């Protein structure tokens, strides 16, 4: 199974170095042109049955609509593809406010320790991973060998980590550039193994509470 991951087009907030999370900013006119002209056919395993899923946030949805139009693909929005929620830091320019030093420090340290949800009202690591794997689980039953996903930087980074058997919070391959396709091949057997492993981790976590 092949996943073609595309981070949404550059937004006005990206230019301002402002953190989105679940808040939104539209993509720029130049990003619209890039999305409309983005070619993905060379990555399709089979041109038949390719499907496109998008985050429901505007910056991803706008990008996905243009890609779907160019490639004549069916498109579906899914909330599970949203960016990670960043609580109090959403809408803020990164590291701008001195009175949020401890919050930005925790944000900057997110690749060393999984976020717990208690630092600045962020989405806890376990919940973030839950929804990514929920989508991945459903992908097993849609019958397509090529799935295009238009999502967000942290979501894509975490998805790739999981598929490549790294800890979800590690930096890994990092945050992809806007509109730069990233290809991940993952067998159904590997996905099933990943889901079982996560469920065992969930069970152990529940047993400790």
83 assigned to active site: yes
Query: CA-CA distance, 95 to 17, in Å (whole number)?
Result: 9
Catalytic residue among 20, 65, 83, 92: 83
Q: Which two tokens stand for residue 152?
A: 């967000």
Six-digit token string for 143: 């019958």
List the one residue out of 26, 8, 23, 129 whose CA is nearest residue 77.
8
Whether residue 172 contacts residue 160, with contact meaning beta carbons closer than 8 Å, is answered with: yes
Residue of 8, 20, 152, 198 marked active site: 8
* Angle at the Cα of 119 from the Cα atoms of 133 and 155, rounded to 5 degrees: 25
Is 125 one of the annotated active-site residues of the chain? no
Which residues does the annotation mark as catalytic?
8, 83
């Amino acid at each position: 199974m092949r996943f073609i991951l595309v981070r949404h087009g550059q937004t006005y907030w990206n230019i301002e170095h402002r953190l989105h999370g679940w808040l939104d900013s539209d993509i720029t006119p130049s990003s619209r042109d890039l999305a409309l002209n983005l070619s993905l056919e060379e990555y399709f395993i089979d041109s038949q049955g390719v499907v496109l899923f998008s985050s429901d946030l505007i910056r991803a949805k706008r990008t996905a609509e243009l890609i779907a139009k160019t490639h004549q693909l069916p498109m579906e929005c899914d909330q599970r593809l949203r960016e990670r929620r960043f609580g109090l830091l959403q809408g803020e320019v990164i590291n701008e406010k001195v009175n949020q030093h401890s919050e930005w420090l925790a944000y900057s340290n997110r690749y060393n320790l999984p976020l717990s949800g208690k630092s600045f009202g962020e989405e806890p690591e376990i919940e973030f991973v839950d929804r990514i794997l929920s989508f991945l689980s459903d992908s097993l039953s849609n019958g397509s060998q090529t799935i295009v996903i238009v999502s967000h930087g942290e979501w894509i980074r975490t998805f790739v980590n999981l598929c490549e058997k790294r800890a979800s919070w590690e930096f890994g391959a990092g945050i992809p550039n806007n509109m730069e396709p990233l290809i991940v091949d993952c067998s159904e057997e590997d996905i099933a193994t990943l889901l079982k492993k996560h469920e065992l981790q969930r069970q152990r976590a529940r047993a400790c509470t």
